[in-house]
Amino acid sequence: MKPNFSLRLRVFNLNCWGIPYLSKHRADRMKRLGDFLNVESFDLALLEEVWSEQDFQYLRQKLLPTYPAAHYFRSWNLSFSGIIGSGLCVFSKHPIQEFTQHVYTLNGYPYMVHHGDWFSGKAVGLLVFHLSGLVLNAYVTHLHAEYNRQKDIYLAHRVAQAWELAHFIHHTSKKADMVLLCGDLNLHPKDLGFRLLKEWTGLHDAYLETQDFKGSEEGCTMVPENCYVNQQELELFPCGIRIDYVLYKAVSGFCISCKTLKTTTGHDPHSGTPLSDHEALMATLCVRHSPPQHNPSPTHGPVERSPLISVLREACTELDLGVAQARWWATFASYVIGLGLLFLAVLSALVAEGGIREIAILLWTLSVGLVLGVGAVYLFHLQEAKGLCRARAELQHVLGRAREAQNLGPEFKPALFLEHQEGYRTEDQ
């Protein structure tokens, strides 16, 4: 590869708000999205909330001349979470070499039907591309929605999802020269989950790094000017919120920069009506050789004041709270099950003695349904506690190893810590 090698990559990302029967003007917006993507001719278009496979197939045929490669990520697990699918898909000018996906362990509550996240398989999809001799790992994801910032009952789930996402990227990108992550993270830039993701993976935020930004104020991806946005959700944020991202990094020997970043501003650039309730992100990334660096100056303070250490502690604390809450609900459900079984025993005795049979049988039937329903709630929260405990154990392990990394010197850098971790894995093997 030539020393003056450079590669330009144009990337598009959008949460399409494609809920069948519920999203307004869905068919028209999908048509205009396809027209827009054909005109702009990006290298990669990564989409979220394409919940209908028919919409994907429509876009697939419409974009085939410009984007010959495409993939739709389906998700499903034995707990029936994710029966709607992941809603994630990718269209590419370049051949897809490999693809896989990871469905998040925790994704809301099945009895919160009006939110619907549990029924959609929130996941992260990975596609591997070979571009001019470089290996690009492109990730697309969609995390659990927030709904209520003041009383966020899903915070622990989103932190766990952010950790799973960071962990998945770390373990699947070892052979990659470039890493790209796009998606609707449902996380504000200063939220715990976003800080955890950035600190552990070392990804760069295109909005903060770009040399040329054009678009909505502060890079917001949900803005009050968009007619599809629920204005009540933005009462605390008059300028809007930034929850959709283009994140990237390059490994040693290469550097990657964001030349331009654009967002839509509440309307389609061509017709004036929005493509979605979210704003689209359009980034131009430039990859080139990086000159070797000798003895780079450390950028982080002592290990105890390291941002990574701090965010790991915060995440462990939040997961502790989530575990306690999940166990409380499981315990409460077990008490209800016990009372229900006792009530069933009394009703059975009344029926056996020839009491008021019709009423007793009706109550017995209702009680059986209640016990079974509460039993499902008990099992769900038991599994929730186990999932949170697993994520907490992984975080605590990383936190312990980070403290051990003090032996690397008085200053601590997450990148050096990751290399230290790889050394341990090699020795163990």
Q: Which residues are catalytic?
A: 278
Q: How far apart are CA 263 and CA 221, in angstroms?
A: 7
The two three-digit tokens of residue 185, written as one number: 């993270």
Q: Report which residue type is found at 29.
A: R
Which helix (H) or strand (E) element contains residue 92? strand 88-92
107, 81 contact by CB (below 8 A): yes
Question: Which residues sit opposite 48 in a β-bridge?
Answer: 15
Q: How far apart are CA 98 and CA 116, in angstroms?
A: 30
Q: How far apart are CA 195 and CA 315, in angstroms?
A: 10
Closest CA to 197 of 47, 49, 317, 311: 311
167, 394 contact by CB (below 8 A): yes
Q: How far apart are CA 272 and CA 39, in angstroms?
A: 16
Q: β-strand 281-289 against 244-250: which pairing, if any?
A: unpaired
The two three-digit tokens of residue 257, written as one number: 């920069």
Mutual orientation of helices 307-352 and 192-201 as an angle, nearest 10°?
Answer: 130
The two three-digit tokens of residue 273, written as one number: 């009506």
DSSP three-state, residue 288: strand
Q: Residue 7 half-sphere exposure, CB side, CA atoms within 13 Å?
A: 21
126, 88 contact by CB (below 8 A): no
